[in-house]
């Protein structure tokens, strides 16, 4: 009886071995060939965290999330550490200002990225980069974008919104209704809701003025009136033209106006004799009529309301080669002379008039602004001979037949 069982047992062992994939016609397991890490080269504020994801590409061209199976490393633990603890794999925690290389390693295969830790008074800027929406950037070239965090007042109900146009030529925060998921408090004038028509060079924005808690960078949140861009609110005054209906039409999700003024209108719109100021309206139902608004209820430059770092900004962008660049990254520094990272040195000062304009001379004297929200150079033509309009395309642009040299003096 014992000898009769031996061949049967042997046969079973052979069958099991043949099904293990260790030989015969079984296909070998795919081999990891590379690791990519996202997000690539982020800049984040000191005191915040960043979650990294590792994606592996294998020999069969498949891709897989391997965040929890790689070993994470930081080259400068004094700048940022990174976790290998289960459920927190790839979570970087900032320690100090600086740059560190983040590595995800599995066996002999590694992937790399960097993380830049910036001060609390710094916001990352991307020009047609990661902070800009790809869908809106098609219609808005050379667009500097930042992100802002907006919350329902006094709560932790918040959202961070990208694709906000950084505009040194206007004043106040404006966000399309379609992008907002948090509820805000409406500002009232008499028995009506306050709305605003904001006129820009080639477009206008219309919508109610509401209170929001806003955070810039890692600064303390402030409670500030903002414009919710909504062309369906009430009846748009005829003087406001045809305002943008949505982010796709505008080319951005919102505007952060950080020019040299504190309010977008100021005392003129608070003057009882200036009810028909063309900017502020009181809306009851669909009827909107001109109104005055106290300065504190007008759309405000949020930088001016910060508890610190509130006296101006610095826009820092890298040099772009003459051949151009697909995108660039820079920073917006809040405050002038308030921290070690915003001490002015070797700069030229230009005074502005009460409207925030500087005086510029180009074949005559006119007011000018340095406007990061515009994607061109705008000026009065010194001569119709030197500069003729592109009449077949757009009468707002000049098309000289050859390179033309002009000069202006501020």
User: Which of 44, 60, 40, 35 shows the shortest CA–CA distance to 52?
Assistant: 40
Instruction: Assess if residue 339 is contained within a domain.
Output: no
Do 93 and 233 fall within a single domain? no
Do 181 and 302 fall within a single domain? yes
24: left (phi over 0), alpha (psi -120 to 50) or beta: left
Q: Which of 96-105, 248-257, 307-316, 351-360 has the lowest average pLDDT?
A: 351-360
Distance CA 180, CA 211 (A): 13
Q: What is the mean pLDDT of residues 35-62?
A: 91
Do 252 and 395 fall within a single domain? no
- Starting at the earlier edge strand, list the strands of the sheet with 63-65: 32-38, 53-58, 63-65
- List Cα–Cα distances, 290 to 193, 197, 294, in angstroms: 11, 10, 14
Do 68 and 130 fall within a single domain? no
Give pLDDT, residue 3: 43
CATH code of the domain containing 175: 2.40.70
Do 100 and 181 fall within a single domain? no
Q: Of 264, 289, 313, which residue constitutes the final position of a domain?
A: 313
Instruction: Assess if residue 13 is contained within a domain.
Output: no
Distance CA 304, CA 259 (A): 10
Q: What is the mean pLDDT of residues 134-156?
A: 89
Do 54 and 41 fall within a single domain? yes
Instruction: Assess if residue 301 is contained within a domain.
Output: yes
Burial (Cβ within 10 Å: 0-12, 13-18, ≥19) of residue 108: exposed
Distance CA 288, CA 70 (A): 60
Instruction: Assess if residue 45 is contained within a domain.
Output: yes
Instruction: Assess if residue 7 is contained within a domain.
Output: no
Please write the tens of the pLDDT for every residue from 79-133: 999 999 999 999 999 998 899 999 999 999 999 999 988 888 999 899 998 899 9
Instruction: Assess if residue 144 is contained within a domain.
Output: yes
Instruction: Assess if residue 175 is contained within a domain.
Output: yes
Do 71 and 131 fall within a single domain? no
Question: CB of 373 within 8 A of CB of 255?
Answer: yes
Say which residues have a Cβ less than 8 Å from residue 271's Cβ, sequence separation at least 6. Answer: 292
Instruction: Assess if residue 5 is contained within a domain.
Output: no
Domain that holds residue 49: 32-118
Say which residues have a Cβ less than 8 Å from residue 246's Cβ, sequence separation at least 6. Answer: 176, 178
The reply to whether omega before 39 is within 30° of 0 (cis) is: yes
Do 305 and 266 fall within a single domain? yes
Please write the tens of the pLDDT for every residue from 238-295: 999 999 999 999 999 999 999 999 999 999 999 999 999 999 999 999 999 999 999 9
Q: Of 288, 313, 338, which residue constitutes the final position of a domain?
A: 313
The answer to whether the pTM exceeds 0.85 is no
For the chain, the domain total comes to 3
CATH code of the domain containing 79: 2.60.40.1080
Q: Which of 152-156, 270-274, 388-392 has the lowest average pLDDT?
A: 388-392
Distance CA 276, CA 290 (A): 5
């Amino acid at each position: 009886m014992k000898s009769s069982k031996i061949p049967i047992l042997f046969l079973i062992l052979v069958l099991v071995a043949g099904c293990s994939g260790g030989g015969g016609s079984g296909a070998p397991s795919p081999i990891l060939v590379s690791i990519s890490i996202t997000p690539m080269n982020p800049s984040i504020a000191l005191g915040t965290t960043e979650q990294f994801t590792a994606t592996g590409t294998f020999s069969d061209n498949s891709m897989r999330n391997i965040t929890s199976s790689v070993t994470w490393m930081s080259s400068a633990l004094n700048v940022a550490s990174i976790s290998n603890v289960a459920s927190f794999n790839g979570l970087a925690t900032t320690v100090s200002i600086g740059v560190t290389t983040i590595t995800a390693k599995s066996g002999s295969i590694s992937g790399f990225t960097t993380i830049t830790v910036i001060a609390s008074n710094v916001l990352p800027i991307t020009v047609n980069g990661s902070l800009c929406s790809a869908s809106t950037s098609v219609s808005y070239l050379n667009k500097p974008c930042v992100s802002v965090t907006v919350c329902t007042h006094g709560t932790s109900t918040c959202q961070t919104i990208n694709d906000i146009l950084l505009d040194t030529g206007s004043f106040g925060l404006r966000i399309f209704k379609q992008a907002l998921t948090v509820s805000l408090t409406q500002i009232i004038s008499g028995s009506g809701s306050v709305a605003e028509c904001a006129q820009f060079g080639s477009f206008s924005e219309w919508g109610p003025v509401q209170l929001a808690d806003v955070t810039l960078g890692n600064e303390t949140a402030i409670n500030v009136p903002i414009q919710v861009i909504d062309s369906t609110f009430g009846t748009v005054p005829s003087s406001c033209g045809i305002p943008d209906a949505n982010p796709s039409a505008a080319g951005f999700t919102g505007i952060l106006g950080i020019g040299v003024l504190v309010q977008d209108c100021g005392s003129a719109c608070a003057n009882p004799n200036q009810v028909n100021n063309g900017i502020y309206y009181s809306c009851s139902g669909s009827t909107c009529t001109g109104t005055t608004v106290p300065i504190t209820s007008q759309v405000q430059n949020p930088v001016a309301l910060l508890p610190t770092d509130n006296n101006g900004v610095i826009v820092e962008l890298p040099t772009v080669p003459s051949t151009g660049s697909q995108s660039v990254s820079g920073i917006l520094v809040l405050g002038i002379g308030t921290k070690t990272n915003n001490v002015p040195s070797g700069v030229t000062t230009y005074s502005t008039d009460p409207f925030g304009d500087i005086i510029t001379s180009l074949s005559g004297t006119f007011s000018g602004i340095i406007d990061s929200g515009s994607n061109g150079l705008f000026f009065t033509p010194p001569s119709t001979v030197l500069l003729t309009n592109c009449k077949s395309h757009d009468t707002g642009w000049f098309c000289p037949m050859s390179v033309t040299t002009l000069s202006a003096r501020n």
